[in-house]
Chain A
């Protein structure tokens, strides 16, 4: 247990609108990490581009704020080359599910030991209000003036279909429960998805705090080890129900990437501490003598 203040970077000019759900995510994440006792010096936040992706700037930790949609491949590599770091990949719904959609699929398949937090405000905030992959049908924007006609992307169903090792959704209006879910996700060995419903008070006048309150409910009597049940819950809303919140699915049998690849079996040191084995290289060269 640490004081969450270790994650406060001091006075900064924050680029989020007053009332934005991102503030809540920042605070809750700082609390969760403090409660887990994760040292800022062992924490790397990896993000892409968008309003959500600015979060690492408001955090006292290492960060890799890369390109729009590309947080996951970088996060994967960081966790693969130094297993001692806690790696959190974090961005918006457009970034993770749209521009980075392919990486989302394949990172789940790789199962690296990272936590993937998605600020899901069902809109593109930074570019001022276009539809995102998770925008609901009928959502009107300057680019979709007649309303969105495409099927909304369902990240949870996709993740469960790919047998992701940890899948959860939460709503930032529920700080305490969000914190607990984040703690669970960060502790989880392997890939963990936490989709956080986050109102964008400026560009999404439909999916507001009120809307999320009315259209979500917490999973109870649900067994997260039951993949089929998890999938059913994940598609409830598209069948006319509400959006369930909570831990949908955990597969405790999944082997995290580093272990499956045998990266630290014989040598536990992170790669930066190792050097080239000249003798082995000589041996290999010998094998080319003919």
Chain B
């Protein structure tokens, strides 16, 4: 293996239940401790045992935050592993695995180094330690100090039985020695310059960044029903929420979950409803209630491929229309779609403020890819995380739905002030009492819809990169940002750039102007219908000239985008 890379792509494959995800977490921590930039994304089957799962790591001397097809080093932990990623193997791939097991699978001309993870592990006591052996081996290959590895084992297995700690330590050591042999014999020669900056950076998954954003945004209530890929947020808040006074309750269904969140907001807390497409489908009636009650609400909608159950553990960006048109009746909403960890934090935090300020439901639209992807990044900026509550102390005669000049009725909460806070799902008067006065109805419809102007005023402008005024623009939204960015770098065309929308609705007023100056506007999104392209046409009258769509359940890769851009920009 040559040393020309700025980063190495390392892939581990094995069946579910074999601990591929544990290895991923271990390697992320260890390689980061050693000063490398690290990126990890997994693809897994919707099953608890068997099948084939893989995790793709990039270990870099420079920041890495996008998946690539290329595999430099493949660790195949069980038969079938090589076949599982065969499309990604090229002549530059080196495969590590037990030669006998993979005889059938290794394509002609591909280098294989015989390493029996299983046999080494069995010698220590249990073949389940194969993954720990793999961690040790990769540690050596990437020149990680043995002490870092041992320290990791001690931390990782702290509190476990002595035997488990000992055997894992041995497994790490055995893997490490094996790795050293490969390095010393010149079979593997990886040289990457560690980067001092990495040490002071954090590393986390997208869903954890959403969780941080929620905490920083003052979220203190979550009722949720588990559903991939949103469950991680519920788990995160369950794990850390107690210290922050967050009420965490597993709801009986998503219908209950959203009504709980609305109840929480009504009484002055900040609730989040977190789910995936199917769960949100159940929530749409409650979503419409948020519109009628003029209640703030934050919805984390983590997309996965549909319709129906679809592909539970895969990714897609096909619920934009769902978020955009959900709920009967007419009322405004905002849809934010983070493109990276920093944005996942910032936008989730912002969603709470925006919802509270404008009394509307706000979506944080993520997907499985973003939720399950790790990399290192600068620590989130916590210097100014004051939560500004936008509720008021009520006075005698308070009217929850008062018609005001600004269009916003100050929001009171029960237990704070001398007024009564009355909200009603029926059409109501200013107090909140049911009414069937049709003239008044018109005013209330206009009042509710009128709040969209606040959302537009506060809309976040799309990010233009690397600089404005490019002849060819790739238009993308949500989680694809870093992938498109890297693809454009690889493509290296002076005349091409990207426009990324982190707020997909309502659009920032500059949208049409930004896009109009380009000759080609290529909309890249992870769905089959070109939903964002349609949104651009409908709300900004922008014509998209080309589309890059993907809807097989896998995330975009850098190479794939490069190929498709080359076809378009011949």
Contacts and interface: CB of A to CB of B under 8 A. Distances in A.
Contacts of A271: 220-221, 245, 247, 264, 267-269
A103 B282 CA distance: 14
Contacts, number: 198
Given A57-B433, A288-B204, A73 B268 contact: no
Given A66-B262, A78-B263, A42 B415 contact: yes
A284 B240 CA distance: 8
Given A44-B267, A81-B264, A82-B415, A61 B420 contact: yes
Contacts of A105: 252
Interface stretch (B383-391, B460-468, B561-569): B383-391
B259 A66 contact: yes
Given A80-B249, A272-B413, A288 B202 contact: yes
Given A81-B267, A288-B203, A275 B259 contact: no
A289 interface: yes
Contacts of B242: 262
B40 to A, nearest CB: 13
Given A54-B434, A63-B420, A78-B263, 11 more contacts: A42-B415, A63-B424, A66-B259, A70-B255, A70-B286, A103-B256, A262-B242, A276-B216, A276-B385, A288-B208, A289-B201
Interface in B180-222: 199-204, 208, 212, 215-216, 218, 220-221
Given A44-B414, A62-B421, A103-B252, A77 B264 contact: yes
A81 B269 contact: yes
Given A103-B256, A284-B240, A73 B387 contact: no
Contacts of B243: 277, 280, 284
A188 B438 CA distance: 43
A288 B236 CA distance: 13
Interface string B409-440: 00001111010111111100000111000000
A106 B221 contact: no
* A15, A76, A280, A282, most chain B CB atoms within 10 A: A76
B185 to A, nearest CB: 31
Given A54-B434, A82-B415, A271-B220, A285 B380 contact: yes
Interface of A: 12, 15, 40-42, 44, 46, 49, 54, 56-57, 60-67, 70, 72-78, 80-82, 84-85, 102-103, 105-106, 110, 261-263, 267, 270-272, 274-278, 280-282, 284-285, 288-290
Contacts of B251: 73, 106
Nearest to B433: A57
B269 A66 contact: no
A68 to B, nearest CB: 8
Nearest to B383: A278
Nearest to A272: B268
8 contacts: A49-B426, A66-B259, A102-B252, A106-B251, A263-B247, A271-B264, A271-B267, A289-B203
Nearest to B243: A280
A92 B415 CA distance: 27
Given A61-B420, A106-B256, A77 B414 contact: no
Contact of B266 (A49, A57, A78, A277): A78
A285 B202 contact: yes
A96 B426 CA distance: 18
